[in-house]
Each structure stands twice: as C-alpha cells, then as structure tokens.
Amino acid sequence: MRKLFVLKTIGFFEEAGRIVILFVNTLIWTFRPPLNLKNIVLQMEYVGINSFFVVFIMSIFIGMVFALQSFSGFQKFHAEAFVGTIVALAMVRELGPVFSGLMVSGRVGAAMAAELGTMKVTEQIDALNTLATNPIKYLVVPRFLASLFVMPILIIFSDIVGIIGGYLVSVYILDQNSEVYKKRTWDYMELEDIYIGLIKACVFGVIIAIVSCHQGFHTMGGAEGVGKATTRAVVQSSLLILISNYFITALLF
C-alpha cells in the first residue's frame, strides 16, 4: 500500500517533468526557423472551427442562467440593477476563460491526443523521425501556436456571447431596462479584467496543446492505448486549467 503510494508519487513527478521538458523543447523549436505556416493555419482552423459553435452555445446559456440566478439573489437586496455588472465581470474574469478552456480541452485536446496517439501506435511518428523530421517541430509547434493564438479570440468571443445571453434574459424575460443594463455592464468593466482574461486564455491554450501532445507521444498499445491517452489528456488538462486559474487569479488581482 505504502509502496504503491510511493510509486504513484514518483510516476506523477516523472510525468510532470516530461510535460515541462516537452514545453521547453516546444519553445525552443518554435523559435527555430522555418515555421510551417501552412500547418499552423490548418491547426488554427481546426481549433477554431471545432470550437466556435460549442463555445457559442455554452456561453450564451451560462450568461443566461447567471443572469437568472443573480437576479433572484439581488432582488432580496433590491440590487437588480447590478445584474449586468456581475454577469459581465464573472464572464470576463472567470466563466468565459474557465468554461471555454474546459470545453476546448474536451474537444480539441482530446482530438490532438487521439491523433498523435494514433500516429504513435501506427509508427507514423517513427516514420517522421526516419524522414529526418523532428516530431516536436512538425506536430507540436503548430498545435501549440494555434491554441496560443486561438484561445484568446475564443475567450473574447465567449465573454461577448455570455454578456449578450445575460442581457437577453434580463431585458426580455426579467423586464429590466435595456439602457441601464448596458450602462451597468460597461461602467464597472476595467481593461485589467480583460487582460487577465486574455492571460488565462493563453495559459490554458498552452496547457491544452502541451498536455494533449504529451499524452499522444506517450501512447502505447493500439486502439485501447489511444482511448486511455485521450481520457488522460482531457482529465489532466482540465485539472491543470482549474488549478492554474486559481493561481493566476490569486496572483494578479
């Protein structure tokens, strides 16, 4: 029992170490020309197109339910007018980045891990090596850059959609005054809130790409292995997103 615990702990640090090494290597290869623009654009398309629709649906409903909940809470203090403020702040600071991050890790991270994992078990990654091509440069760098660039766009999109969702519920269902709601939304919003949202977006993008590619590269044993790698990629990146989210918030606010 004790031994198992020790082994698990060692395994955990080993894996964490490998992820950090992959991250460092990816950075090194990113700055080593040439950049494969075609692959980066392809991955951006993939990360984006795969995600915009789900992020739209997710964000609008989050904004809507958040408006409903905070309205019923704020009503007790006759502070209904601040629903717009709280929806906007919550969306921009936490809900937009975190939920989008989780959603993208479920969709895009899983796909990355499955794709690289399949390449690993069918020896395509070995084949890349034999063709004198570095797999980190060829496979990880485009995915890394694509997530790094697409996540902020996606998260701003999520913020806006969420705020619109809150607005729709407040104005059309809860009969709030449209102008007051808009004013309350903007008045308390600071540039800093948006920056921090964007920093989170970039960090989450990096986490998703690196963790998923790492799981893909370390896939073993056929279709079952690919399934396991995919699951692990989603679980690890989701947890890391939530943990790093706390620390970014704690350090920067």
Q: Which residues bind another protein (CB under 8 A)?
A: 115, 118-119, 122-124, 126-134
Q: Whose Cβ is closer to another protein: residue 131's or residue 251's?
A: 131
Q: Shortest distance, CB of residue 115 to another protein, whole angstroms?
A: 8
Distance CA 178, CA 79 (A): 16
- Give buried/exposed letters for 207-243 (b at 16+ CB in 10 A, else e): bbbbbbbbbbbbbeeeeebbebbbebbbebbbebbee
Shortest reach from residue 136's CB to another protein, in Å? 10
Residue among 30 and 124 whose Cβ is closer to another protein: 124
As a whole number of angstroms, the distance between CA 230 and CA 221 comes to 13
Shorter beta-carbon distance to another protein: residue 25 or 244: 25
Alpha helices (runs of H) in the chain, residue ranges in sequence order: 2-30, 37-75, 83-90, 96-104, 110-121, 124-130, 135, 141-168, 178-187, 191-217, 222-252
**What is the CA angle 139-141-143, rounded to 5?**
75
* CB 124, min distance to another protein, A: 5
| Tokens 């080993």, located at residue | 14
CB of 23 to another protein, least distance (A): 17
For 38, other C-beta atoms within 10 Å of its C-beta total: 9
First to last CA, the chain: 42
Nearer to another protein, 97 or 109 (CB): 109
At closest approach, how far in Å is the CB of 46 from another protein? Answer: 11
Minimum CB distance to another protein smaller for 121 or for 145: 121
User: Minimum distance between the CB of residue 126 and another protein, rounded to whole angstroms?
Assistant: 5
- By residue count, the chain amounts to 253
Of 192 and 224, the one with the shorter C-beta distance to another protein is 224
Residue 163 · residue 91 · CB < 8 Å? yes
